[in-house]
Copies of this chain bind each other. A is one copy, B any other.
Amino acid sequence: MFLSKYFLPIVKNTPKDAQIVSHRLMMRSGMIKQDAAGIYSWLPLGLKVLKKISSIIVEEQNNSGAHEMLMPTIQSADLWRESGRYDDYGLEMLRIKDRHERDILFGPTNEEMITDIFRTNIKSYRSLPLNLYQIQWKFRDEIRPRFGVMRGREFLMKDGYSFDIDKDTSYEAYNKMFISYLKIFNKLGLTAMPMEADTGPIGGDRSHEFIILAETGESKVFYDRKWKNLNIDIEKISYDENLQKIVDRYTSLYAATDEKHDPSKINKNDLLETRGIEVGHIFHFGTKYSESMGAKVVLPDGSLKPVFMGSYGIGVSRLVGAIIESSHDEAGIKWPIQVAPFDVAIVNLSVGNDSCDTIAHSIYNSLKSFGKDILYDDTKESAGSKLASMDLIGIPYQVIVGPRLAKDNKFEIKSRLTDETNIISFQQLYEFIK
């Protein structure tokens, strides 16, 4: 992509109302534009990151045996009356009347709708286990939306739902998601800590939230120093293993956010403190919705039984902010390679200079032939402004072409993650790519 033809509206000044670093950096780097309180457009650079995160989630959820589907954003209020949550949900639910004065709503979550889909289509225990998920926009009418995409009103969420014949297999489904979530956060380059959580309005008997560690995170996190020695290679864990053992290893160690921190539960010498952000939440709620909404299957003996369910959420748009909170410096964002909007940036410091143009174009073409996604700054901005913008938007590698080195057919390569720079030749660049 040639920057001169791209839509990347970089903002030099810090937006006034952006209180946290991810909000500031997303606004400044032209990733998002605020359209209304807590409602954002995703500009091209931001959308690329959102789509990369979504693909990683889809890939890993499919690996776990879950099936992707897509529910509408608008739901009928009648479904929520069946579960009793229509009145309970409060003002965060965006309630609407359609042209025929029927009550509808913009879904804040989908337990009711998925239970309806299940009861309409699944009649026999033979169709179990089943895990269905979607990545879809939700709306919660926060009274004071803030912190950019971290606490917006319209937000992208992965929500999944498991259906099982009894409590034991239902816990197995829960454990699969527990492991799948750790795999996802690991693939995103994040350190995630599962913590016991309240079930809240979803209900149920077991719940964990996943907190990723970030210096500038929203809440304090207290944890056992033995966490650092856990040494589980989550990528290598297969869904066919005994997952309960692995879940137990994670959950046996103390970890809590400040809301739930209880100093009496951990030896003072073992206690470490940092900050974190909640990015996922999983719930096992058994038959809460299947009972009230009649989602039952026929057993081998002909009897009917309500299914056991769990639900599993990841804040997809929130993750974009969370990744920035956990990976940035004074100059801007440092994207982990797997979610970076582009693989490589090429900065031509002297557009119009023949040797710079020739070298920059030739790097562009050869990197492209290797399948790399490249942002090429071919604009006439000043060198200082170009370098500052590139540090701001945080593409993992910058290839910097300037007139002095160009004379010797050389250029600089900078790793944005380490800020290390090296002077290299074409030959060295090719070796590096391979």
A residues at B contact (CB < 8 Å): 5-7, 9, 30, 33, 35-36, 39-44, 46-47, 50, 65, 67-76, 91-92, 94, 96, 98-99, 104, 106, 113, 116-117, 120-122, 127, 130, 132, 137, 139, 141, 143, 153-154
Find A96's partner among B47, B94, B117 (CB 8 Å cutoff).
B94
| A120 CA to B15 CA, complexed, in Å | 13
Smallest CB gap from A34: residue in B = B120
Q: Is the CB of A73 within 8 A of B73?
A: yes
Contact B67 A6 (CB under 8 A): yes
Q: Assess the B35–A153 pair: CB atoms within 8 A.
A: no
List, in ascending order, chain B residues with CB within 8 A of A74's CB: 36, 39, 94, 106, 139, 153-154
Given known A7-B130, A96-B94, contact A40–B141 (CB-CB < 8 A) = no
Copies of chain A in the complex: 2
Q: Across the interface, do B71 and A44 meet the contact criterion of CB distance under 8 Å?
A: no
CB proximity of A77 to chain B, nearest CB, Å: 10
Which residues on B sit within 8 Å (CB–CB) of A154?
72-74
- Collect the chain B residues with CB atoms within 8 Å of residue A33's CB: 117, 120-121
A68-B44 contact in complex given A33-B117, A73-B137, A113-B35, C-beta closer than 8 Å: yes
What is the distance, in angstroms, from A186's C-beta to the closest C-beta of chain B?
25
In the complex, A116→B43 CA distance in Å? 13
> How many angstroms between the C-alpha atoms of A200 and B294 in the bound complex?
47
Residues of B close to A141: CB separation below 8 A = 98-99
Q: List 19 A-B contacts (CB under 8 A).
A: A7-B69, A7-B127, A33-B120, A35-B71, A35-B72, A35-B75, A35-B113, A36-B76, A39-B74, A39-B76, A40-B72, A42-B69, A44-B69, A47-B68, A47-B70, A72-B137, A72-B154, A91-B99, A98-B141
